[in-house]
Amino acid sequence: MFDSNLFKQAKHIHFIGIGGSGMFPIVEILHDQGYTITGSDNNQTDTLTLEQKIGIPVHLGQRAENIEGADFIVYTAAIMEDNPELIAARASGVPVAERAEVLGYLTGLYPDCICISGTHGKTTTTAMLTQALMHAGVDPTAVIGGKLPLIGGNGRVGKGECMVCEACEFNDHFLQLAPDVSVILNVDADHLEYFGTLENIIRSFHKFAQMTSRTVIVNGDDANAMKAVAGVEGKQIITFGIGPQNDYVAENIRMKGAQLTFDVRCEGTLLGKLTVNVPGRHNVYNALAAFAAAMQTKCSIGLVREGIEAFHGAGRRFEVLGKVNGVTIADDYAHHPTELTATLKAARGLGFRKIWAVFQPFTYSRTKLLMDDFAKALSLADYVVMSEIMGSREKNTDGVYTSQLAEKIPGSVWFPEFEEIAAYVMAHAESGDLVITLGCGDVYKCAKLMLKHG
């Protein structure tokens, strides 16, 4: 159990897995508060480079001696139980906490904490809201699951009393947070290795809504999200969506290439036109949620609108990386069938000759449980190329392999190495095609390899 008193008394905090994208905003906040920070990771990452630039000493490689001198130790959920540094930390007698517990403590320090939850769309909405609030002069602290180009990273320390925080349902991590305003974008079947059933996921989102201190902003068009807020008491419930029954409604939706335009109406009053510069109909919901959340801070409607319209996407969210011999290379974090469907449908509306989906399945349990759904979603692409499954925190006890998924997608191929994938795709893709790497692991490295094929 996390002891906030012990944490407040600490002077030197050590982070195991400090290179994870979710660690950097926490590190940045605590560094700003005057704590001595050290950390370790196995690979040099962009996040690690950012941390080193602000003066954080980082050990490459995880060894027991790295924790010396620390009086509080934080680790990420991706760290395996047999990690030598985590074993040493637990044996040392020094307090140890998982990242989500520390984030929960930090959210409680801000009197106006907005937490963005949902199975899909959290990072885009959190990044969009952060940019809108910055443009409106709120100066928020932010914890985002992906890179926001405006700030050059996935977190920032603001001077205001507002915090914008991505709230992830994985292993019920979002139940550690202290939201004053919460957003529920959608509720879908994911992380079933932990939740077991969709009903259990809905139950967790209900707990998240109930623990919100003031206002819950929920997708009124999403049946599961509405089930999650049913019976929630003592909060203001605000709905958003396309259906006319919602408090915030998107009307007259128009899509042209990568741009969306729609009118925003709130409780019958037309608030004006909003232009969104990220593709896909799902981003109507993300933008409307960000707009509704920004309104909770009493910002100028005009400045919020300008901030959202200036947003052109978060890192790894349909991020166009470049073009090689007329072939456009993009990257997206989609790792669930619903996300893959949304991303590939958006891609099909952009006028490319053919769509190539380069997919890295993530975790054996998700691949096994949702294999038929993955096959259906990926079949929206003209060509499907896959890597082997990235197991992350799991061991392949069920004997699940990419080859089994490939058998369900006619014409698909798979390769064990990114170099092979890059060579195959760039040998066969033609000018006017879009190649989009998909997955929440390290498949973006494959996109970078393809950019070198010139």
Instruction: List, in sequence order, every residue forming a beta bridge with 249; answer none if it has no partner.
Output: 241, 265
Label each residue of the chain as H, E or C.
Answer: CCCHHHHHHCCEEEEECCCCCCHHHHHHHHHHCCCEEEEEECCCCHHHHHHHHCCCCEEECCCHHHHCCCCEEEECCCCCCCCHHHHHHHHCCCCEEEHHHHHHHHHCCCCEEEEEECCCCHHHHHHHHHHHHHHCCCCCEEEEEEEECCCCEEEECCCCCEEEEECCCHHHHHHHCCCCEEEECCCCCCCHHHHCCHHHHHHHHHHHHHCCCCEEEEECCCHHHHHHHCCCCCCEEEEEECCCCCCEEEEEEEEECCEEEEEEEECCEEEEEEEECCCCCHHHHHHHHHHHHHHCCCCCHHHHHHHHHCCCCCCCCCEEEEEECCEEEEEECCCCHHHHHHHHHHHHCCCCCCEEEEECCECHHHHHHCHHHHHHHHCCCCEEEECCCECCCCCCCCCCCHHHHHCCCCCCEECCCHHHHHHHHHHHCCCCCEEEEECCCCCHHHHHHHHCCC
Q: Which residues are catalytic?
A: 122-123, 166
Judge contact between 58 and 40, C-beta under 8 A: yes
